[in-house]
Amino acid sequence: MGMDLPPSRSYLQFDAALLRRLPAGGLAGVDEAGRGAWAGPVVAAAVVLDFQMAAGLSGLKDSKQLSPRARQALLPDILKASRTVALGWSSSEVVDACNVWEATRRAMRQAVRGLEHAPALALVDGPHAVADLGCPQQPVVDGDARSLSIAAASVVAKVVRDRWMFFWDRLLPGYGFARHKGYGTHFHRRALGRLGCCGIHRRSFSPIAAWGASR
């Protein structure tokens, strides 16, 4: 991972300021991966960190600023530094049935409700609250760049989703899912031109609807 640095002071301070005002129950970070992809699930993670251990996490920050190798290396450390972690997901069929925003909210609700105990507060990445989350919440714009808890959730969600896409790459060769993870790259467009859509493509997305028949 190169130079291993502890989390930035601002990441820690953001969460610490909230923790001082919270009752027992902990602070959960909630984030998703895959909302903008053309194929595959939306995956959400909820993470409740043990902050005595999390202060020593090396290099944790917004998952988009980390290489795949760095995210993979961080995952076991995040799990060790967490009091509880849970996942939620919405398949491509759910995305098509109810739209990607509602699918994302469903995945986040599933993740939070899967925690061993309801947190005193959930920090949700983004500008919007999630209805029926099951606990008090605070939306945080650019949360994965501000909150250590959300940054941890962003890494967990991204690593888990990437692993799902490697799995689908083996089952559905030729699309390059292990390479682009379902996002709309040039390689993905070319594969669609050769093969058409497959079962994990989001047919409600206009770029996919244009390709027509299923493989």
DSSP codes, 106-117: HHHHHHHHTSSS
| φ, ψ for residue 124, nearest 5 deg | -105, 125
Contacts for 199 with CB less than 8 Å, ≥ 6 apart? 92, 172, 214, 215
Residue 95 has pLDDT above 70, yes or no: yes
> Is residue 130 included in any domain, yes or no?
yes
> Is residue 198 included in any domain, yes or no?
yes
> Is residue 83 included in any domain, yes or no?
yes
Per mean pLDDT, which range of 7-11, 60-64, 78-82, 139-143 is the poorest?
A: 7-11
Confidence of residue 81 (pLDDT cuts 50, 70, 90): very high
Task: Find the CATH number of the domain harbouring 83.
Answer: 3.30.420.10
* Full residue range of the structural domain in which residue 135 is found: 9-209
Longest CA pairwise span in the chain (Å): 56
pTM of the complete model? 0.92
In the chain, the number of structural domains is: 1
Angle formed by the axes of helices 68-80 and 148-171, to 10°?
Answer: 120
> Is residue 3 included in any domain, yes or no?
no
Residue 10 has pLDDT above 80, yes or no: no
Residue 53 has pLDDT above 90, yes or no: no
Within 10 Å of residue 173's Cβ, how many Cβ atoms? 11
> Is residue 25 included in any domain, yes or no?
yes
- Res 84: pLDDT: 96
